[in-house]
Chain A
Amino acid sequence: MSDVPSLPLIAQVNTGDTAWMLMATALVILMTIGLGVFYAGLVRSKNTLNTFMMCVAALGVAGISWALVGYSLAFGDGGGFIGNFDYAFLSGVGFEPLEGQTIPHLVFFAFQGSFCIITLALVSGAVVERMSFGTFLVFSVLWSVLVYPVMAHWVFGGGFLQEGGTLDFAGGVPVEMGSGFSALAAALVVGARKDYGRLALLPHNTLLVLLGAGILWFGWFGFNGGSGVSTGNSSVLAFVNTLLTPAVCLVTWFVLDLIRGRHVTAVGAGTAIIVGCVGITPAGGFISPGWAMVLGVIVAVPSYAVIVWRPRTRVDETLDVLAAHGIAGMTGILFIGFVAQAAWNGVADGLFYGSGELLGDQALAALVAPIYAFVVTYVLLRVLGSLMPLRATEHEESIGMDVVQHGEEAYVTGEGAILVSPEAGIEAEVPVADPA
Chain B
Amino acid sequence: MKLVIGIVRPEKANDVLEALYRAEVRGLSISRVQGHGGELDRVETYRGTTVKMGLADKVRFEIAVSDSFVEPTIEALCAGARTGEVGDGKIFVLPLERAVRIRTGETDHGAVTPVGG
Contact = CB atoms under 8 A, between A and B. Distances in A.
B95 interface: no
Interface string A393-419: 001001100010001110010111111
B50 A420 contact: yes
B46 A426 contact: no
A99 interface: no
B81 to A, nearest CB: 12
Contacts of A408: 44-46
Q: What is the interface of chain A mostly: helix, strand, loop, or mixed?
A: loop
Contacts of B44: 403, 407-409, 412, 417
A84 to B, nearest CB: 43
Report the contact-size class of chain B (Cβ under 8 Å from the partner).
Answer: 20 to 34
Interface residues of A, number: 25
A433 B36 contact: yes
Given A408-B46, A409-B44, A419-B51, A436 B14 contact: no
A435 B89 CA distance: 12
Nearest to A434: B38
Contacts of A398: 9, 11-12
A199 interface: yes
Contacts of A195: 14
Nearest to A404: B42
A433 B54 contact: yes
Contact of B52 (A409, A420, A435): A420
Contacts of A395: 83, 85
A367 interface: no
A432 interface: yes
Interface string A180-202: 00000000000000010001000
Contact of A418 (B9, B14, B51): B51
A422 interface: yes
Given A416-B34, A435-B37, A435-B38, A426 B53 contact: no
Interface of B: 9, 11-12, 14, 34, 36-38, 41-46, 48-55, 83, 85
